[in-house]
Amino acid sequence: MEKLKPYVIGVDLGGTNTVFGIVDAEGNILCESSIKTGKYQTAVDFVNAGVACVRPLIEKVGGKEKIQGIGIGAPNANYYTGTIEHAPNLVWAHNGIVPLANMFQNELDIPVKMTNDANAAAMGEMMYGAAKGMKDFIVITLGTGVGSGIVINGQLVYGHDGFAGELGHVRVDYSKEARLCGCGRRGCLEAYCSATGVARTAREMLAMTDQPSLLREKDPATIESLDVSIAASKGDELAKSIFTMTGMTLGEACANFAAFSSPEAFIFFGGLCRAGDLIMKPIRESYEQNVLKAFRGKVKFLVSPLMDKNAAVLGASALGWK
Amino acid sequence: MEKLKPYVIGVDLGGTNTVFGIVDAEGNILCESSIKTGKYQTAVDFVNAGVACVRPLIEKVGGKEKIQGIGIGAPNANYYTGTIEHAPNLVWAHNGIVPLANMFQNELDIPVKMTNDANAAAMGEMMYGAAKGMKDFIVITLGTGVGSGIVINGQLVYGHDGFAGELGHVRVDYSKEARLCGCGRRGCLEAYCSATGVARTAREMLAMTDQPSLLREKDPATIESLDVSIAASKGDELAKSIFTMTGMTLGEACANFAAFSSPEAFIFFGGLCRAGDLIMKPIRESYEQNVLKAFRGKVKFLVSPLMDKNAAVLGASALGWK
C-alpha cells in the first residue's frame, strides 16, 4: 500500500462562505482561509477565486506533494459524479450541473472528492465527533434547511443516484393545511424543524394566541430562530413551547427513521441544538412515545460535539483520505 | 479459500407452514418438505419436528457433508443473535426470545443463519429475482402484514440491533382518526396496505357508500383481500377503487423511503401484487406526484418474478452460503 501523504484539504462550501482548511491525520486544522461564495457569478470565477485562496495554504505546509486529497462538502453535491446539481442557494449552480470536483482537480492537480454538506457532517462525526466507533447512525442538521447524513454498516448511504439522505424532505404532515416547503411540496420535516420553520412557528403562535412573550417586542416579519432561542433562554414560555413543538415533530420523524435503519444514535447539529434540553427532551420523549416497541429505549439522542470546531471542514476533509 | 459444499438448506418459517428445501448454487430447489408451524406448543417440540422433517432430505442428497449451511427466514427473527423475539404469530415464540438458529445448529451440526422473512425475500430477489445486479433496492412484502427488506450498497440493512427494515410500521397518517395497527400504534402503513388493511378498506367503503359492488354479495365481516381481487378482476368499480387507494398510500410512502435511501427499484411481493396494474399504476403515479424533484422518474416499480416459485425458501437459502 502506498504511503499516505500527511495532509488533506477540507472545503466547506456554504451559501455565504466557502472555507478551505488544511487538516492532519489527527483532525487538527493547521490553517484555513475563506472566500465569499455568492460574490461570483459563474462557476469558473468561483473556482479561480478558490484556487487563489487555497494555493498559499498548500505552499505553507510544503506544497501539493504533502496533500493526499481534497474533500468538498457542498449543498446538492453528488458523490458519484462530483457535480453540484440545481443548488437553489448558489448563484453559479442554481440552474444546471457544475462539475466542481473536476474543475478543482484540474487546477490543483490533487484528487478531489465531493459530497453534500450533511454527509460531510456525518463523516466528521464518525472520524472526530459523537459517532466514533459507531457503524449505524443518522446525523440531522438543523440549519436554514434540515439535512441528513445516514451511515449504515459504517458506510455513508449515497443511494442509487448519489442523492440519498434527504430526510428534511420526508413528509410529516399529509393534511391539506400542511406547510409549503421550499422544495415546492407540502408537509416536509424541513418546513417545521429548520431555523426558518421555527421562525414560522413563532409567527403563527404569536398570531394565534394572546400569550405574553418577549417575542412580541419584535416586528413578527423579522423574527428569526435566534430570537426564539434568546427568548427561551430567558424563560419565555411561548418561546419554550416553540422548541417543544419543534422537538416533538423531530421525535415523531425519528421514530419513522428508526423503522428504516434502526440506528444506534441520532446526532443533531446546528444552531437550534444550542437550546439543549428545551429541544432535545421533547425529541426523546416524542420518539419513545411514537416508535415501534422493538426500538424503544435503545437509541441515543446526541448533540454534535463539533459545533464549535470547524466541523464542516473536518467532515469534508475526511473524504480527502479516500 | 475453502471449497464450498454443493448445497444449502432454505427454511421458510411462516405462521402456518414451515418449508424446508435443499437448494443448489443455481437456485434450483432439489427437494422440499414441510411441517405445520402452529401444531407445536414449545420451541423444542417445533425444532424436533423440523429436524425429523429435514433429515431425510439431507440423506437424499448425500448427507450433511454436502450441505454448506442453513438459512432460515422467520417473522421477528434477528440476524445478529439468531433469535426469534416476541413473534405474535408463533405460539412457541410469542412471549419471549427463542434461540432458534442455535437449536437447529446443535441438532444438525450444520451452520445456521437466520433473518426475518422480508429480508430473506430481499436476498432471494438479489440472487435469483428482480434485483439481480442491483446494489440499492427495497422489497416490500404485501401479506397479512407489510414487511420490507432494504438493500444498500449490496448489503441487507440490519441496523444497530438487527431489527431494521420495518417499513410496514412507518406512519402514513398522523391524524387522530388514523387506523389502529396490530402493533398498538396508529396510522402505520401496514394498517392500510396489508391484505387485512385492504379488507378493512373494503368494509369501510361498503359501509360509507351506496355504490353497487359484487362485494355486497358477501357478509362484510368475512370479506378478505382475495374477494376484493376477484371482484376487481371482474371489473367491479368499487373493488378497483380499493386497489387505487391502497396503491396511492403505498406510492406516498415510497416517496418518503426514496428520500432515505434513493433505491434503484421498489420490488413488491405478495398476493396483492397479482392485481397487476390495478395496484402498480397508482403506486407509480402517486410516487411521482409526491416525491422530491431530484428523485422523479428515476425509480423502477417491479413485481417479484419469484412469487410462483418458492421465493421464501430460495431467499432464506441464500444465507446458507455465508
Q: CA–CA distance from A248 to each of A192, A242, A304 (Å)?
A: 11, 10, 19
Q: Put residue A133 in one of left, alpha, beta given phi > 0 → left and psi -120 to 50 → alpha.
A: left
Nearest to B292 among A85, A166, A261 (CB): A166
Instruction: Determine if the pTM surpasses 0.95.
Output: no
A112: number of Cβ within 10 Å: 22
Query: Quick check: B2 pLDDT over 80?
Result: no
In the three-class reduction of DSSP (H, G, I as helix; E, B as strand; rest coil), residue B43 is classed as: helix
Residues of A in contact with B162 (CB under 8 A): 262
Structural contact between residues A71 and A114, judged by C-beta atoms closer than 8 angstroms: yes
B170 and A264 within 8 Å at the Cβ level: the answer is: no
Question: In whole numbers, what is the pLDDT of chain B averaged over residues?
Answer: 94
A158 at interface of B, judged by CB pairs closer than 8 A: yes
Structural contact between residues B263 and B137, judged by C-beta atoms closer than 8 angstroms: yes
A184 and B293 within 8 Å at the Cβ level: the answer is: yes
Write out pLDDT tens, residues B136-145. 999 999 988 8
Over range B229-239, report the average pLDDT.
96
B162 and A85 within 8 Å at the Cβ level: the answer is: no
Query: Quick check: A280 pLDDT over 90?
Result: yes
Residues of A in contact with B169 (CB under 8 A): 259, 292
Q: What is the pLDDT of residue A59?
A: 97
B75 at interface of A, judged by CB pairs closer than 8 A: no
B260 and A167 within 8 Å at the Cβ level: the answer is: yes
Three-state SS annotation for chain A: CCCCCCEEEEEEECCCEEEEEEEECCCCEEEEEEEEHHHCCCHHHHHHHHHHHHHHHHHHCCCHHHEEEEEEEECCEECCCCEEECCCCCHHHCCCEECHHHHHHHHHCCCEEEEEHHHHHHHHHHHHCCCCCCCCEEEEEECCCEEEEEEECCEECCCCCCCCCCHHHCECCCCCCCCECCCCCECECHHHHCHHHHHHHHHHHHHHCCCCCHHHHCCHHHCCHHHHHHHHHCCCHHHHHHHHHHHHHHHHHHHHHHHHHCCCEEEEECHHHHHCHHHHHHHHHHHHHHCCHHHCCCCEEEECCCCCCCHHHHHHHHHCCC
Write out pLDDT tens, residues B3-18. 889 999 999 998 889 9
Q: Which grid cell sits at A189? A: 420535516
Chain A residue whose CA is closest to B297:
A161
Window from B40-44, B94-98, B303-307 with minimum mean pLDDT: B94-98
Q: How many residues does chain A have?
A: 322
Query: Quick check: A1 pLDDT over 70?
Result: no
Residues of A in contact with B260 (CB under 8 A): 150, 157, 164-167, 170, 257, 260-261
Q: What is the pLDDT of residue B88?
A: 75
A176 at interface of B, judged by CB pairs closer than 8 A: no
Q: What is the pLDDT of residue A85?
A: 86
Structural contact between residues B273 and B279, judged by C-beta atoms closer than 8 angstroms: yes
B259 and A169 within 8 Å at the Cβ level: the answer is: yes
Which single residue is written with the C-alpha cell 438459512? Answer: B71
At residue B76 the predicted structure's pLDDT band, cuts being 50, 70 and 90, is confident
- CA A104 – CA A98 distance, rounded (Å): 11
A233 at interface of B, judged by CB pairs closer than 8 A: no
A190 at interface of B, judged by CB pairs closer than 8 A: no
Q: What is the pLDDT of residue B75?
A: 87
A186: number of Cβ within 10 Å: 17
The gap from C-alpha A76 to its chain's centroid, in whole angstroms, comes to 11
B262 at interface of A, judged by CB pairs closer than 8 A: yes
How many pairs of residues across A and B have Cβ atoms under 8 Å apart? 136
**Relative orientation angle of helices A237-261 and A195-208, to the nearest 10 degrees:** 130
Give the residue from B134, B140, B160 with the most A CB atoms within 10 Å of its CB, the best one to mutate: B160
Which of A123, A134, A139 lies closest to A303, judged by CA? Answer: A139
Question: In whole numbers, what is the pLDDT of chain A averaged over residues?
Answer: 94
Give the residue from B174, B264, B290, B302 with the most A CB atoms within 10 Å of its CB, the best one to mutate: B174
A136 at interface of B, judged by CB pairs closer than 8 A: yes
Query: Quick check: A261 pLDDT over 80?
Result: yes
Which of B46, B28, B26 lies closest to B37, judged by CA? Answer: B46
Residues of A in contact with B170 (CB under 8 A): 256, 259-260
Residues of A in contact with B158 (CB under 8 A): 262
Query: Quick check: B50 pLDDT over 70?
Result: yes
At residue A95 the predicted structure's pLDDT band, cuts being 50, 70 and 90, is confident
A290 and B153 within 8 Å at the Cβ level: the answer is: no
Give the residue from A261, A266, A296, A298 with the most B CB atoms within 10 Å of its CB, the best one to mutate: A261
- The CA dihedral of B101, B104, B110, B111, to the nearest 10 degrees, is 0
Query: Quick check: A29 pLDDT over 60?
Result: yes
Write out pLDDT tens, residues B272-285. 998 999 999 999 99
At residue B317 the predicted structure's pLDDT band, cuts being 50, 70 and 90, is very high
Please state, for a pLDDT cut of 70, what percent of chain A lies above it. 99
B178 at interface of A, judged by CB pairs closer than 8 A: no
Which of A140, A143, A249 lies closest to A189, judged by CA? Answer: A249
Q: What is the pLDDT of residue B85?
A: 86
Q: Which residues contact B143 (CB under 8 A, 6 or more apart)?
A: B194, B195, B270, B271
Half-sphere exposure of A239 (CA within 13 A, CB side): 21
A94 vs B165: which has the higher pLDDT: B165
A263 at interface of B, judged by CB pairs closer than 8 A: yes
Chain B residue whose CA is closest to A249:
B174
Window from A20-34, A102-116, B27-41, B304-318 with minimum mean pLDDT: B304-318
B257 at interface of A, judged by CB pairs closer than 8 A: yes
Nearest to B160 among A170, A184, A262 (CB): A262
B159 and A262 within 8 Å at the Cβ level: the answer is: yes
Q: What is the pLDDT of residue A31?
A: 95
Chain A residue whose CA is closest to B181:
A292
Residues of B in contact with A140 (CB under 8 A): none
Residues of B in contact with A292 (CB under 8 A): 166, 169, 183, 185
End-to-end CA distance of chain B: 13
Over range A180-209, report the average pLDDT.
95
With a threshold of 0.85, tell me whether the complex ipTM lies above it: yes
Write out pLDDT tens, residues A97-148. 999 999 999 999 999 999 998 999 999 999 889 999 999 999 999 988 899 9
Structural contact between residues A142 and B244, judged by C-beta atoms closer than 8 angstroms: no
B3: number of Cβ within 10 Å: 6
Query: Quick check: B1 pLDDT over 60?
Result: no
Half-sphere exposure of B272 (CA within 13 A, CB side): 33
Give the residue from B139, B262, B299 with the most A CB atoms within 10 Å of its CB, the best one to mutate: B262
Three-state SS annotation for B81-120: CCEEECCCCCHHHCCCEECHHHHHHHHHCCCEEEEEHHHH
At residue B221 the predicted structure's pLDDT band, cuts being 50, 70 and 90, is very high
Structural contact between residues B302 and B121, judged by C-beta atoms closer than 8 angstroms: no
Q: What is the pLDDT of residue B310?
A: 80
